[in-house]
Structure 1
Amino acid sequence: MKPFPKLHLWLILPFVLTLIGFSHYWTGFSEATFQWHLHGLSATAWYIILIAQPWIYHHRPIHVHRKVGMIGILLAGIVIASALSVIKGNLLQPEQSPLFEVRYSLSLLDFMFITGFMVSVIAAIWNAKNTPVHARWMISTVFWVLSPATTRLSFIPLGMIYQPKEFSDFPFSWADVLTWNQALIVLVLVFLIILDYQKEKKIYFSYVLVAISQLSAILILTGLKDSAWLISVLNKLFDL
């Protein structure tokens, strides 16, 4: 029996969370900039292919899976390239934005996450003939880019609870909520690592790499913040 027969169903969950988390993009679709459209639409298409591929693997000839995978590689490249443009835009947040105080450290995290996403895609391609390893590298792409969506999603119920007139009325910051989401993602990854070890007596590096990176993101956000040297480096990197 082929592995992961119901993986496509599990992958629908982070896709829905991401759609809801970035609902402001869809509700303000006509007002979004070109780089946001390029990033948002390519990322959505990538997610759809990511969900479809396990189903195709189980129900269609393998050459169909490979052809769809080639389309996915192209989309992944667009996601990565457009993310860099979005990061530059995030550095130009207005002072009234809730992200303003940590916009540089958040941009560093975004850069780290999209780099990790790229590494996972490349590693998945490299291990295409090793199905268990290939699949887990593909699954790991979800966790690299999940927290920006779930952090935004978290503010929907939090807004219902606290009903702030201004964002500053919340008893916590954007960084606090992102930290909680990073910790939750690490817990999910630890669960997957334990599950793999129980079933196969193996620990897959793809999950470990993402988990370590998510933990380091918490340290970057809470410890580094918008340090002067980080501001200088990113301003030079993005020619600001």
Structure 2
Amino acid sequence: MPYRHAHWYILSLFPLAAVAFWPTYLGQFGTAPWELHAHGLTATAWLLLLALQSWTIHHGQRATHRTVGPAVLALFPLFMAGGAGIFFGMADRYAAGAPFQAMWAPELAWFDFVGVAMVAYFVFMGLKHRRSVRLHSGYLLATAIALLPPIIGRLSGIPLGIRGPEDFDRLHVGFQATNVLVAAIAFLIAFRQRKDGRPFVLAGAATILSSILFEVPGHTPGWERIYASLAPLPSEPFILLAGIAGVGIAAAGWFAGKRPSLGGALPA
């Protein structure tokens, strides 16, 4: 079976995420905006589902693996909706002049765009190829690549000596170095999987693309104006649309992966 120790690698992300998100979320949990709770909960549940499914299949728990599998159909739309909420929450704080968002939110939005598109495609492909062990596991595990830049990017503030808003400008090199590192990790996994490494090749390429878009158009005044114009819009319709899109993507992948019908006319 491929990716034999994937569940341990995924579980190792939780202590890293706790350190990374302590200053901006966990350390002020009681007063954090609702969209942070929604995104944190759905992202956590997604990683736990990946870890659980990796563990069950590698420990002979095939029945449990098959029973838990359809949870993707419910969890992925919630993950999409939570991502939309965090996007509009960032835009609100950008317009309000919050120090971190005022400096980096428009640029980081491009990481979100690429990451969401990547995860959506990988979920579709993972469900479509669920009868091919290597493709199914590869595409779904590769969704975790999209969650690495937010974690490692924030952790880069430790070696960069980020102590407050006056140091936030140093995060530019941290964010870009993080994407180089994450792309390298994805390409290394792809190399080790040889002909079955396509999901991680795509994940690495998507990470590089997000770095390019971070710079252009991320830094342009025109994009900053467009991004600021999103703040007054009500987020609820977009959150609902993201959830509906998640339902459609997951359902399309699920039905695309069904066994071909044996009915119909037999050839002469």
Whether the TM-score (by the shorter chain) exceeds 0.5 is yes
Change (3 A) 1:227 1:207: same
Name the counterpart of 2:136: 134
After superposition, residues 196-211 of structure 1 pair within 5 angstroms as: 196-197=193-194, 202=195, 204-211=197-204
Q: Does 1:43 align with 2:43?
A: yes
Letter aligned with residue 2 of structure 2:
P
Q: Does 1:184 align with 2:181?
A: yes
Letter aligned with residue 209 of structure 2:
S
Q: How far off its partner does 1:111 sit?
A: 2.2
Q: CA RMSD in A?
A: 2.3
Q: Is 2:123–2:143's contact at 8 Å kept on the other side of the alignment?
A: yes
Q: How far off its partner does 1:8 sit?
A: 1.4
Name the counterpart of 2:14: 15
CA distance in 1, matches of 2:184, 2:144: 15
CA distance in 2, matches of 1:61, 1:156: 40
Name the counterpart of 1:54: 54
CA distance in 2, matches of 1:96, 1:35: 16
Which ranges of structure 2 fall in alignment gaps of 5 or more residues?
234-268
Q: Is 1:102–1:225's contact at 8 Å kept on the other side of the alignment?
A: no
| Aligned residue-pair number | 230
Which ranges of structure 1 fall in alignment gaps of 5 or more residues?
none
Match of 2:109 among 107, 110, 113: 107
Q: How far off its partner does 1:75 sit?
A: 1.8
The TM-score, its normalising length taken from structure 2, stands at 0.77
Q: Is 1:87–1:111's contact at 8 Å kept on the other side of the alignment?
A: no
Q: How far off its partner does 1:235 sit?
A: 5.2
CA distance in 1, matches of 2:52, 2:148: 18
Letter aligned with residue 177 of structure 1:
G
CA distance in 2, matches of 1:60, 1:102: 46
Change (3 A) 1:234 1:188: same
Q: How far off its partner does 1:39 sit?
A: 1.2
CA distance in 2, matches of 1:63, 1:239: 48
- Higher RCO (CA-CA < 8 Å; seq separation 6+): 2
Name the counterpart of 1:221: 214
Q: Which stretch has the larger CA shift, 111-120 or 14-23?
A: 14-23
Q: Is 1:39–1:82's contact at 8 Å kept on the other side of the alignment?
A: yes
Encode CA deviations 1:182-206: one digit per residue, 9 max, x unaligned.
Answer: 0001111121122122xxxx15321
Q: Which stretch has the larger CA shift, 106-115 or 92-101?
A: 92-101
Q: Does 1:174 align with 2:176?
A: no
Change (3 A) 1:96 1:203: same
Q: How far off its partner does 1:6 sit?
A: 2.3
> Match of 1:226, SS?
coil
Q: How far off its partner does 1:212 sit?
A: 1.1
Larger Rg: 2
Q: Which stretch has the larger CA shift, 43-52 or 91-100?
A: 91-100
Q: Which stretch has the larger CA shift, 76-85 or 124-133?
A: 76-85
Q: Is 2:106–2:223's contact at 8 Å kept on the other side of the alignment?
A: yes
Identity of aligned residues (%): 22
The TM-score, its normalising length taken from structure 1, stands at 0.85
> Match of 1:196, SS?
helix
